[in-house]
């Protein structure tokens, strides 16, 4: 089964390489409340600015967004596909609009989704080197030596990233290749998700005549785009408050070391408002967006909101609610979400991290006063994060709700080395003799 996964992930890498060659790839963020599609054009290697510094684009200039579209998501709950036809239609809508804007046909898609019960595992292994020098084959060997925990049937490995290498007594190596030593140890972060969720997404994308060139967890990719470089280096948690789920990812030394998701999000706040005030969900969403908040002040008692209605009953259609009441409905739910996030962070041992930075992003993070509330629940160092700026991204797609889409673009441009990027050693590969001979030739000549 591991070999199976290895093969399918390698096939996706191959597809991604093809897409890079063609120069156009679509980014698809399948969320519970919206589906965002960006079309990227890759035009050569990234250039640095004139004075040879990294510059404001952080070197992410290798690609350009040439098409962007969003549509309301359908058939997705808690970040998982529940109605495949609906989801397929939504993907088609977003993709068609983005293609139209880009004026080019896109065949390869890199997708991200948030739900499907992500679970993190820390793996480690140590091997004695065959030679003196760490080669790519040695790295593959040590990665393969990690003993994979029994993550259960019906689960699939989504990410398996080496986060740390240690050579003899030296730890914290990012890239040990070419270095001398006796024994090589690796720490690997493995993220598993429900296999059915992946299969559903893959199937939806296949039904849209597209080739899947990569798949990522949105907790990871939103962390990639919302955390700035030093936060990723020193350690930070990214909390992506989406519609159906709130994803949590912890970064350290520029690697994700933990990811989890809380199955609550902005949609639950909306449904609370809808239920509490007896209004349709669309009106509740609008009221939440324009008037919502989590800190009630004295002025909010006098700020009345027309919640309307369409029944023909004069009294019913002229109901009003004060903003304080609205906040009173929203706040417990937001608190609950943040408490749940706190629990997940505690479970991950976030308090032992050297830096306790927390970054809130995602569409839900736009609730007014959320940072104040989060400070009280999660800790002092909380900020609101917006995605990194990338070339050609329309102004309207730079909000925090697009951090996972933008992160996925960065992921597409500069994917992190994963386990399957290294060759499995021959003895476990169960290769045919001929292939082994070819390998021998390639290794020795």
Partner 1 sequence: MRPLKATRAPVVHRPKPLSGPDADFASGARTGAEPKLRLRGVFNRKGDRFDPAPSRLSYRLQRWMLTPGIRRGLKIGLPILAVCAAVGIYFGAQERRDAVVAYVMDIKTSIQQRPEFMVNLMAIDGAGTNLSEDIREVVPLDFPISSWDLDVEQIRDTITGLNPVKSATVRVRPGGILQVDVVERQPVIVWRTRNGIELLDETGAHVKRISSRKDHANLPLIAGKGADGHVGEALALLTTARSLGGRVRGLVRIGERRWDLVLDRGQRIMLPTERPVRALERVLAVNEVQDLLERDVAVVDMRLGQRPTIRMTKAASEDWWNTKVNVSSEQ
Binding positions for partner 1, rule: CB under 8 A? 65-66, 68-72, 74, 89-90, 92-94, 96-97, 99-101, 103-105, 208-209, 280, 282-283, 286-287, 289-291, 303-308, 310, 320, 392, 394-397
Instruction: Report the distance separating Cα 208 and Cα 109, nearest Å.
Output: 10
Helix (H, G, I), strand (E, B) or coil at 311: coil
Task: Report in angstroms how near the CB of residue 326 gets to partner 1 at its nearest.
Answer: 12
Strand partners, 358: 237, 382
Strand partners, 194: 155
Instruction: Report the distance separating Cα 277 and Cα 327, nearest Å.
Output: 12
Of 95 and 190, CB closest to partner 1? 95
Task: Report in angstroms how near the CB of residue 114 gets to partner 1 at its nearest.
Answer: 21
Of 95 and 146, CB closest to partner 1? 95
Helix (H, G, I), strand (E, B) or coil at 370: helix
Helix (H, G, I), strand (E, B) or coil at 176: coil
Task: Report in angstroms how near the CB of residue 129 gets to partner 1 at its nearest.
Answer: 50
Instruction: Report the distance separating Cα 46 and Cα 219, nearest Å.
Output: 26
Other beta carbons within 10 Å of 337: 24
Task: Report in angstroms how near the CB of residue 10 gets to partner 1 at its nearest.
Answer: 27
CB 120 within 8 A of CB 160: no
Task: Report in angstroms how near the CB of residue 396 gets to partner 1 at its nearest.
Answer: 5
Count of CA atoms in the C-beta half-sphere (13 A) of 183: 8
Of 379 and 392, CB closest to partner 1? 392
Of 89 and 254, CB closest to partner 1? 89
b/e string for 158-188 if b means 16 or more Cβ within 10 A? Answer: bbbbbbbbbbeeeeebeebeeeebeebbbbb
Residue 261 has phi, psi (to 5 degrees) of -145, 140
Of 71 and 222, CB closest to partner 1? 71
Name 324's Cβ contacts closer than 8 Å, sequence gap at least 6.
296, 300, 301, 303
CB 181 within 8 A of CB 144: no
Of 99 and 247, CB closest to partner 1? 99
Of 100 and 295, CB closest to partner 1? 100
Task: Report in angstroms how near the CB of residue 116 gets to partner 1 at its nearest.
Answer: 24
Task: Report in angstroms how near the CB of residue 89 gets to partner 1 at its nearest.
Answer: 4
Of 250 and 283, CB closest to partner 1? 283
Task: Report in angstroms how near the CB of residue 395 gets to partner 1 at its nearest.
Answer: 5
Instruction: Report the distance separating Cα 238 and Cα 378, nearest Å.
Output: 12
Task: Report in angstroms how near the CB of residue 342 gets to partner 1 at its nearest.
Answer: 33
Report which DSSP code applies to 25: E
Other beta carbons within 10 Å of 134: 21
Of 66 and 410, CB closest to partner 1? 66
Instruction: Report the distance separating Cα 392 and Cα 401, nearest Å.
Output: 17
């Amino acid at each position: 089964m591991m070999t199976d996964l290895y093969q399918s992930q390698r096939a996706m890498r191959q597809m991604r390489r093809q897409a890079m060659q063609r120069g156009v790839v679509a980014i698809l963020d399948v969320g519970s409340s919206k589906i965002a599609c960006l079309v990227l054009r890759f035009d050569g290697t990234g250039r640095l600015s004139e004075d040879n510094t990294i510059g404001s684009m952080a070197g992410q200039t290798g690609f350009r967004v040439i098409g962007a579209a969003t549509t309301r998501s359908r058939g997705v709950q808690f970040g998982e596909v529940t109605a495949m036809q609906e989801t397929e239609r939504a993907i088609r809508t977003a993709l068609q609009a983005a293609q139209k804007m880009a004026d080019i046909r896109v065949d390869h898609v890199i997708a991200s989704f948030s739900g499907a019960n992500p679970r993190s595992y820390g793996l480690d292994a140590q091997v004695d080197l065959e030679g003196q020098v760490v080669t790519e084959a040695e790295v593959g060997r040590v990665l393969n030596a990690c003993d994979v925990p029994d993550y259960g049937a019906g689960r699939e490995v989504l990410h398996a990233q080496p986060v740390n290498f240690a050579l003899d007594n030296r730890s914290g190596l990012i890239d040990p290749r070419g270095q001398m030593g006796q024994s090589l140890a690796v720490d690997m972060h493995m993220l598993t998700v429900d296999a059915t969720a992946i299969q559903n997404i893959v199937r939806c994308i296949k039904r849209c005549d597209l080739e899947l060139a990569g798949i990522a967890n949105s907790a990871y990719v939103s962390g990639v785009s919302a955390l700035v470089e030093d936060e990723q280096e020193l350690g930070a948690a990214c909390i992506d408050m989406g519609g159906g789920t709130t994803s949590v990812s912890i970064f350290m030394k520029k690697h994700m070391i933990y990811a989890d998701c809380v199955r609550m999000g902005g949609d639950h706040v909306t449904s609370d408002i809808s239920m509490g005030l007896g209004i349709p969900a669309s009106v509740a969403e609008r009221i939440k967006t324009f008037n919502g908040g989590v800190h009630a002040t004295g002025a909010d008692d006098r700020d009345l909101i027309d919640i309307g209605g369409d029944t023909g009953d004069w009294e019913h259609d002229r109901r009003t609610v004060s903003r304080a009441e609205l906040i009173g409905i929203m706040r417990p739910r937001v608190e609950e979400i943040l408490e749940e996030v706190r629990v997940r962070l505690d479970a991950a041992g976030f308090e032992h991290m050297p830096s306790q930075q927390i970054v809130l992003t995602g569409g839900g993070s736009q609730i007014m006063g959320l940072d104040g509330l989060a400070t009280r629940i999660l800790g002092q160092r909380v900020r609101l994060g917006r995605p990194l700026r990338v070339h050609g991204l329309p102004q309207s797609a730079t909000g925090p709700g697009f951090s996972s889409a933008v992160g996925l673009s960065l992921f597409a441009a500069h994917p992190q080395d994963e386990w399957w990027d290294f060759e499995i050693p021959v003895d476990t590969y169960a290769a045919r003799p001929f292939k082994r001979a070819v390998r021998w030739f390639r290794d020795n000549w």
